[in-house]
Amino acid sequence: MAKVSIDKSERDGVTVLSFTQKNVNITEENVHDLGSDLLNEAAGADPPKVILDLGNVEFFGSSFIESMFVVWKALSAKNGRFAICQLHPYCETVLSVTNLTTVWEIYPTVDEAVAALK
């Protein structure tokens, strides 16, 4: 299985983290390294405004939700902001069922997320 990687870019003072591969499935096999990469990239965001672009992610489980939660808590501790965008319908359902759509900022596109966070 190829390593899932994250691309970090900056738009209008907001850090955007995007998955480089298409059709990403975040499973128990790849979530641990990925969660560490995600936290490391988000921790370096200055200002602490981070958008997680999930446009290429088709599936994630509870372990990845935990990774996103850790990132959100770390940013919140710095008075930062965390948003998610471009959710695949399955992933949106998972976040809705867990009520995380009421906790995290969720936007349909990267542009809308950047506009809200900048």
Inside any domain, residue 38 = yes
Write down the pLDDT at residue 54: 97
Count the domains in the chain.
Answer: 1
Write down the pLDDT at residue 13: 95
Residues 6+ apart with CB under 8 A from 60: 25, 26, 31, 54, 91, 94
Write down the pLDDT at residue 1: 54
Domain hosting 16: range is 6-117
Q: Which of 37, 105, 112, 117 is nearest to 72 (CA)?
A: 105
φ, ψ at 98 (rounded to 5°): -85, 5
Chunked mean pLDDT (size 10), the chain, 118 residues: 83 95 91 84 91 96 92 94 97 95 96 97
Inside any domain, residue 1 = no
What single DSSP character describes residue 86?
S
Inside any domain, residue 27 = yes
- Please name every residue paired with 15 in a beta bridge, in sequence order, or none if there are none: 10, 50
Write down the pLDDT at residue 2: 65
- CATH number, domain containing residue 11: 3.30.750.24
Pairing of strands 24-26, 49-53: unpaired
